[in-house]
Every structure is written in structure tokens, then in C-alpha cells.
Amino acid sequence: MFTTNPFAELSASIAPSVMQTYVVVMIVLVVAGTLYDVVHKSSAKYFFQNWNKAKSNGARQVGGGEMVSLAVKTAVVDVLASGEFCNQQRRIAHLLGMYGFVAYALATLVMVFSYATPATPTPAIWPVLWHIGALMICVGGYWFWFFIRVDVAAEGGSPFRIMRADLFVLSLLASATFALIWSYLQSTGGAWAMPAFGLLVIATTVLFGSVPWSKFAHMFFKPAAALEKRMAEANGTRSNLPPPADEPAQFGTARTEPRHY
């Protein structure tokens, strides 16, 4: 199972061109959804306004060398290491989900576009990476959902309470979960392999098609926001960005619906 490319076996039922077209459509949905989110919420306008304000009102000017250093720190600490999370458990769960998603998505692209048929042998690294990525998403995602969420861990709320803000994590978890189930059933010749694949397609379509209403686009905004915050701190201005989401004060507050969609 872990060394078998499930998409190559699927090519006996679904043409590789159909799979490739579906992946391209999902990419287009992400790009279009992110652009819509930027325009609808004025995220880019807000960012550049604060960036220019920090530059003009700062007590000191940040030079080019220091700017590069801030960008590197943002990439390493805030992006690659999720340094904005003060809670260690939440940071680990986030890293598992983030790197799991990167491995899962990257391996999917490679296997669908380069090794979509059994005629082209798939290097073992790609199916292994695909399965491990899906497992990482499940471990980090279910750990977060049932044990780390603020209203569950701190307030004893039901882990089954669902809000629109949860759309991203739930659709991602569903996609990874059904991917593993489908791969297993297909490798064993299970009769439910195709229904599981259908559920995978539905979950993945919701994941990438719901960008304007979910937190998917945040992965593109957070690095820019983190850099703006470091810039404001470096030149002596106060950033308008809120404190990290899991600072102690947050744990006494129940989740609320987002104000904008």
C-alpha cells in the first residue's frame, strides 16, 4: 500500500487526462478563491496601508540588510517553525498538518502528472510521501480537533460543535482520511474502493472550492502579516496585528463566528 501509486492503478478506470484536468481545476479554484478573498476582505489594501504607515511613522528607518534579515527570520521562525504559536502542543499539531499537506499535495501533483499509468514505474518515494503526508494531516488534525481547540480544551465544549470557520480543517481531514481509506481498499481489492474515492473527490473539491469561506487563504496572508509585524517592531511603531491566537487570554474566550466571509 505505502509503496504503490494509487493513481496509477486508478488509471484502469479513469483516464489520466481526467485526473490531470481535475487537479488543474483545483489549482484554479485556489487562485481564484484567494484573489476573491483578497478583494472582498481588502486584505492586500490593509497590509500595504499598515506597511506604509510603519515605514513613515517609525522612530528609525529599517535598512535593506535589516529588511532581508527580517524576511529570513519571518520565513524560518514564523512560517517554517510556526513560531507564532505560544502553545507547544498547538504548534506541533500545526506543523504536522502543514508539512503533511505539503507532502500530500506535492506527491499528488508528481504522481498524477508524471506517473499516472503503470507503464511508467513510480519511484517509491512518491507514494510513501503521499501516504505519510496524509497520515501527518490526520494525526495533527484530529489531535487539534478533539484535544487542543480552545473551547474543547479550556472550556469543556463538545468536540463535535461545528462552525463555518472549521470548514478548512474538516475538509482537509476528510480529504486525507478518505485518501488513506481509498488507497487501502484499492490495494486489497475491496469493493468499496470506488465509493471511498468518490468521497475523496467530494472532500477535496470542498477543500479547494471553499477558499473564499474557509481559512485556506490564511496560509498566504500569514507570512505577510508576520513580516509587517516584525517591521513595525524593528522601526519602533506598534503593529495593529493581534497577539498570537493562543496567548493565555485567549483560553478564556469561546470561539465566535468570523465577521467576514
| Residue 176 belongs to a domain | yes
Domain count, the chain: 1
Domain assignment present for residue 199? The answer is: yes
Question: HSE-up of 258 (CA within 13 Å, CB side)?
Answer: 13
Q: Does the residue 55 lie in any domain?
A: yes
State residue 242's pLDDT score.
Answer: 54
| Rounded Cα–Cα distance for residues 164 and 256 (Å) | 10
On the 0-12 / 13-18 / 19+ scale of CB atoms within 10 A, 176 is buried
In a domain, 261, yes or no: no
Q: Which domain holds residue 54?
A: 6-234
pLDDT at site 38? 74
Residue with cell 515605514: 55
pLDDT at 60: 67
Q: What is residue 83's predicted lDDT score, i.e. its pLDDT?
A: 67
Tens digit of pLDDT for each residue in 109-155?
A: 999 999 999 988 999 999 999 999 999 999 999 998 888 876 555 55
List of the chain residues with pLDDT < 70:
41-63, 79, 83-86, 150-160, 216-221, 224, 236-261
SS3 109: helix
Give this prediction's pTM.
0.77
Q: What's the confidence (pLDDT) of residue 231? A: 73
The pLDDT, as a whole number, for residue 248 is 39
Cβ neighbors of 165 (< 8 A, separation 6 or more) are 214, 215, 255, 257, 258
How many CB atoms within 10 Å of residue 114?
12
Residue 18 lies in a domain: yes
The crossing angle, in degrees rounded to 10, of helices 125-143 and 88-114 is: 150
